[in-house]
Amino acid sequence: MSAPKKRSVTIRGHRTSFSLEDAFYSELERIAAAQGKPVAALIGEIDASQSRNTNLSSALRLYVLAEVKRRACEDKSRD
């Protein structure tokens, strides 16, 4: 697995940064594309819904994990 990379994004007019491994960021891009929205918009939604006690990097990883698990359950139910 790659080391986390620092990335920047503008959310609601505010520039912020987060650190994610390439695998998590690639999956975040895939999820955003599947939802028909830019990655920055998805990150903004995740940021708005997270607890203020959670940093953005952790919130993004947890979101990606939840989406991957949800998709795995959907795939399993189709079998």
Average confidence (pLDDT) over 25-42: 97
Confidence band for 9, pLDDT divided at 50, 70 and 90: very high
Ordered DSSP codes for 26-41:
HHHHHHHHHTTS-HHH
Average confidence (pLDDT) over 48-68: 93
Alpha-carbon distance values, 51 to 23, 25, 47, 63 (Å): 24, 21, 8, 13
pTM for this one? 0.88
Structural domain boundaries, residue 44: 5-78
Confidence band for 74, pLDDT divided at 50, 70 and 90: confident
Confidence band for 52, pLDDT divided at 50, 70 and 90: confident
Number of separate domains in the chain: 1
d(CA 51, CA 77): 31
Residue 50 has pLDDT above 90, yes or no: no
d(CA 69, CA 75): 10
- Residue that has been written with the tokens 């007019």 in this structure: 13
pLDDT at position 51, please? 80
CATH at 42: 1.10.3990.20
pLDDT at position 53, please? 82
User: Around 1, how many Cα atoms within 13 Å sit in the side-chain half-sphere?
Assistant: 9
